[in-house]
Amino acid sequence: MYFGYGTQVNPSYTKQDKEIARQSRICQKYKYYIGEAEKAKKWYQKTMESLKKDTLNKENREAGERLAKMEKQSCWEYFNKAQELKQKHPEIITESLKYSL
């Protein structure tokens, strides 16, 4: 906050404000990890669909398989991070999910 010219007032935060901010960061992280896992899953599915085509040569098929493997690993990595966060803070995330639906 600014008052007048060059005077700044730093607001003091209560314990409750700090706790709400902490819980909010936890929920944002969880939603980010789940969102990234969903994105990776969609890309994995698209890659697998494109690998079903018979028009791909051997090099492209191998590159597609490597890409699909990386996307699958990425999906599981984000999903595991989200589950780890949920195990650490089950009450915060469960409460957040209840209100976000």
Q: How confident is the model at residue 98 (pLDDT cuts 50, 70, 90)?
A: confident
Tokens of 8: 């700044």
Burial letters for 22-57: b for 16+ Cβ neighbours within 10 Å, e otherwise? ebeebbeebeebbebbeebbebbeebeeeeeeeeee
pLDDT confidence of residue 5 = 60
Reduced DSSP (H G I as helix, E B as strand, rest coil) percent helix, strand, coil of the chain, to 5: 80, 5, 20
CA atoms of 61 and 82, how far apart (whole Å): 32
Residue with tokens 């599981």: 76
- What does the pLDDT average to over 55-63? 87
pLDDT in tens, 3-54: 556 556 667 788 888 888 888 999 999 999 999 999 999 999 998 888 887 7
pLDDT confidence of residue 43 = 92
User: Model pTM?
Assistant: 0.77
- What does the pLDDT average to over 53-69? 87
